[in-house]
Amino acid sequence: MTRKIIHCDCDCFYAAIEMRDDPSLVGKPLAVGGRAETRGVVATCNYEARAFGVRSAMPTSRALRLCPELILVPPDFERYRAASQRILAIYRDYTALVEPLSLDEAYLDVTGVDRCRGSATLMAEEIRARIHAEVGITASAGIAPNKFLAKIASDWRKPNGQFVVRPEEVDAFVEVLPVGKLFGVGKVTTARLEQLGVHTCGDLRAWSLADLIARFGKFGRSLHRLCRGIDERPVAPDRPRKSLSVETTYATDLPDLAACEAALAPLMEDFNRRFARLDPAPPVHKAFVKIRFDDFTRTTAECLADAPDEARWLELLRTGHARKGRPVRLLGVGVRFVEAEEAFAEAQADLFGAG
């Protein structure tokens, strides 16, 4: 049976909750995030702010330069989580196969569901109407035979819209899709493909599997399948935790390695508290340290590890810092878990390699 997958994604979720609770914010450029003076970043923003070029993950200081009238509010995750739980309850009225990706988006497998005469399109419309009526915000949806296409489709008519890719439309839809839309294809890989004359999935189909693997390694297998619209991943309601990490952006740059080493101790204490709350804690596969320098370049140093290890984190910090030797604005420590690493390796070999 052909799958019927819905990808639901709330529109500018945090900002939408803020506008719902304070209607005076509606129609004004709004961002949720940290203050500029504390090196804050934008968590999300509404469409009025996006018109000025403001984007998620942008430093707040830059957002304010782009939009001096931007209204900035701090995040209130308690309210966001409460809204997320109500939205998840709506999803689960339709199917038990709900895979949350974050507080505001999820995949739903409605294959064989009798609601709305079995129509995934009608179910998506009903779900979006219920989110608006019961939670007070809008959501967009994509409907397709697999997760990859459903996620792309949910962006097609944002905000407050939906788009369907029917099974008989998959080939034509994917053929004209820009390669930058493919899972795992970031700016660097997009530029690399375009230098090779590959701009669309149709262009990419001209490459054989062997040629793609020769050029891109294991990720070539993913490219070969995705450019044909193939994605066999099931909707997984109980996804294993992939990693655990903590990080801090500092109000004042850490000037040198010694300052970074001193800052590592409170990070490790915070991590150990969170790790102790895992019940049970998944087996650890790797430890890593994340660094963002004052020029906004980033690096991650990692190694094999079977448990959180302060000595390893310290060594990884020294390795990562030596790559630039510049002042540091952000530090993070964390671990990756065994199950996630095994799944990631399998995905690289099968469908979703790193890119």
Q: What residues are designated binding site for Mg(2+)?
A: 9, 104
Rounded (10°) CA dihedral 44, 21, 88, 141: -60
Strand segments (E) across 71-200: 71-73, 98-102, 105-109, 139-144, 162-164
Counting beta carbons within 10 angstroms of the beta carbon of residue 320, is it exposed (0 to 12), middle (13 to 18) or buried (19 or more)?
Answer: buried
Name the token pair of 77. Answer: 């995750």
From residue 55, alpha-carbon distances to 33, 50, 58, 74, 269 in Å are: 11, 6, 6, 16, 32
Rounded Cα gap, residues 118 and 114, in angstroms: 5
Rounded Cα gap, residues 185 and 352, in angstroms: 10
CB atoms within 10 A of CB 7: 27
User: Three-class SS of residue 167?
Assistant: helix
Residues 6+ apart with CB under 8 A from 68: none
Residue in the structure block whose two tokens are 């990490």: 245
* Residue burial 183-194, b: 16+ Cβ < 10 Å; e: rest: bbbeeebbeebe
Q: Catalytic residue among 48, 99, 105, 302, which?
A: 105
Name the token pair of 213. Answer: 């693997």
Is 105 a known active-site residue? yes
Binding site: residue ranges? 9, 104
Q: In what order do the strands lie in the sheet with 162-164?
A: 98-102, 105-109, 5-10, 139-144, 162-164
Query: Which are the catalytic amino acids?
Result: 105
